[in-house]
Amino acid sequence: MKKHLWLLVPIAVVCSGIQSFAAENESPIAALDRLITAGQYAQALDLGDDNLEDWEGDPEFDFLYGLAALESGSPNEAVFALERVAATSTDGILRERARLELARAYFVTNNLTAAENLFNLVLANNPPGNVQQNVDAFLILIETRRASQSSSFTWALSSFVGSDDNVNSATSLGTIDTPIFGDIELDPNGQQIDDVYSNTRGEMNYKYVLTRDRSVDFGLDLIHLNNFDTDAFDIDSLRASATYNWGDNINRFSHGFVATKVLLDQNGFQDSVGLSSAWQHASSNGWYQSVAGSYTQIRYDTSGGQTNSDLRDVDQLLITAGLTKISGAFTHSLNLYRGDEDARHTNGGEHNGREFTGLAYSLLYRLNTQHTPYLRVSLQEVDHDGEHPVFSDTTRNDDIESVTAGWFYQFDRNLLISGEASYTNDASNISLFDHHRFKFQAGFRYRF
pLDDT tops 70 at residue 416: yes
Q: State if pTM tops 0.75.
A: no
Percent of all residues in the chain with a pLDDT value above 90, rounded to a whole number: 54
Buried-state track 416-427, b at ≥16 Cβ within 10 A, e below 16: bebbbebebebe
pLDDT recorded at residue 13: 44
Instruction: Kindly report the three-state secondary structure assignment for every residue of the chain.
Output: CHHHHHHHHHHHHHHHHHHHHHHHCCCHHHHHHHHHHCCCHHHHHHHHHHHHHHHCCCHHHHHHHHHHHHHCCCHHHHHHHHHHHHHHCCCHHHHHHHHHHHHHHHHHCCCHHHHHHHHHHHHHCCCCHHHHHHHHHHHHHHHHHHHHCCCEEEEEEEEEEEEECCCCCCCCCCEEEECCCEEEECCHHHCCCCEEEEEEEEEEEEEEEEECCEEEEEEEEEEEEEECCCHHHCEEEEEEEEEEEEECCCEEEEEEEEEEEEEECCEEEEEEEEEEEEEEEECHHHEEEEEEEEEEEEEECCCCCCCCHHHHCEEEEEEEEEEEEEECCEEEEEEEEEEEEEECCHHHHHHHCEEEEEEEEEEEECCCCCEEEEEEEEEEEEEEEEECCCCCCCEEEEEEEEEEEEEEEECCCCEEEEEEEEEEEEEECCHHHCEEEEEEEEEEEEEC
pLDDT recorded at residue 426: 96
pLDDT recorded at residue 204: 97
> Stretch 401-405: mean pLDDT, rounded?
98
Query: Is residue 100 within 8 Å of 122, Cβ to Cβ?
Result: yes
pLDDT recorded at residue 2: 46
Of 143 and 441, the one with more pLDDT: 441
> Stretch 406-434: mean pLDDT, rounded?
94
Tell me the C-alpha distance between 15 and 17, whole Å: 5
pLDDT recorded at residue 181: 66
Tell me the C-alpha distance between 255 and 216, whole Å: 10
User: Picking from 166-175, 212-221, 251-260, which range would have the lowest pLDDT averaged per residue?
Assistant: 166-175
In order of 177, 354, 382, 392, 417, the CA distances from 396 in angstroms are: 15, 9, 8, 10, 40
Residue 89 phi/psi, 5-degree rounding, is: -70, 135
Quick one: pLDDT band at residue 164, thresholds 50, 70, 90? Answer: very high
What digits encode the pLDDT tens for the residues 337-363? 999 999 998 888 899 999 999 999 999
Chain centroid to CA 249: 17
> Stretch 310-339: mean pLDDT, rounded?
95
pLDDT tops 80 at residue 277: yes
Quick one: pLDDT band at residue 249, thresholds 50, 70, 90? Answer: confident
Tell me the C-alpha distance between 118 and 276, whole Å: 40
Of 174 and 287, the one with more pLDDT: 287
pLDDT tops 70 at residue 1: no
> Stretch 187-201: mean pLDDT, rounded?
89
Contacts for 308-313: CB closer than 8 Å, 24+ residues apart: 308/348, 310/344, 310/345, 310/349, 311/343, 311/345, 311/348, 311/349, 311/352, 312/349, 312/352, 313/343, 313/344, 313/345, 313/349, 313/352
Chain centroid to CA 350: 34
Average pLDDT, the chain: 88
Query: Is residue 358 within 8 Å of 378, Cβ to Cβ?
Result: yes
Chain centroid to CA 339: 19
Tell me the C-alpha distance between 201 and 416, whole Å: 14
pLDDT recorded at residue 11: 46
> Stretch 49-66: mean pLDDT, rounded?
89
pLDDT tops 70 at residue 244: yes
pLDDT recorded at residue 17: 47
> Stretch 399-418: mean pLDDT, rounded?
95
> Stretch 41-60: mean pLDDT, rounded?
89
pLDDT tops 90 at residue 403: yes
> Stretch 368-378: mean pLDDT, rounded?
94
pLDDT recorded at residue 15: 46
Quick one: pLDDT band at residue 179, thresholds 50, 70, 90? Answer: low
Query: Is residue 53 within 8 Å of 83, Cβ to Cβ?
Result: no
What digits encode the pLDDT tens for the residues 3-50? 444 444 454 444 444 444 444 567 888 999 899 988 889 899 999 888
pLDDT recorded at residue 133: 83
Tell me the C-alpha distance between 353 and 311, whole Å: 10
pLDDT recorded at residue 130: 80
pLDDT tops 80 at residue 189: no
Of 187 and 23, the one with more pLDDT: 187
pLDDT recorded at residue 134: 84
What digits encode the pLDDT tens for the residues 288-307? 999 999 999 999 999 877 77
pLDDT tops 90 at residue 320: yes
Query: Is residue 241 within 8 Å of 258, Cβ to Cβ?
Result: yes
pLDDT recorded at residue 20: 45
> Stretch 422-429: mean pLDDT, rounded?
96
> Stretch 159-187: mean pLDDT, rounded?
82
pLDDT recorded at residue 14: 42
What digits encode the pLDDT tens for the residues 103-132? 999 998 888 888 999 998 888 888 888 888
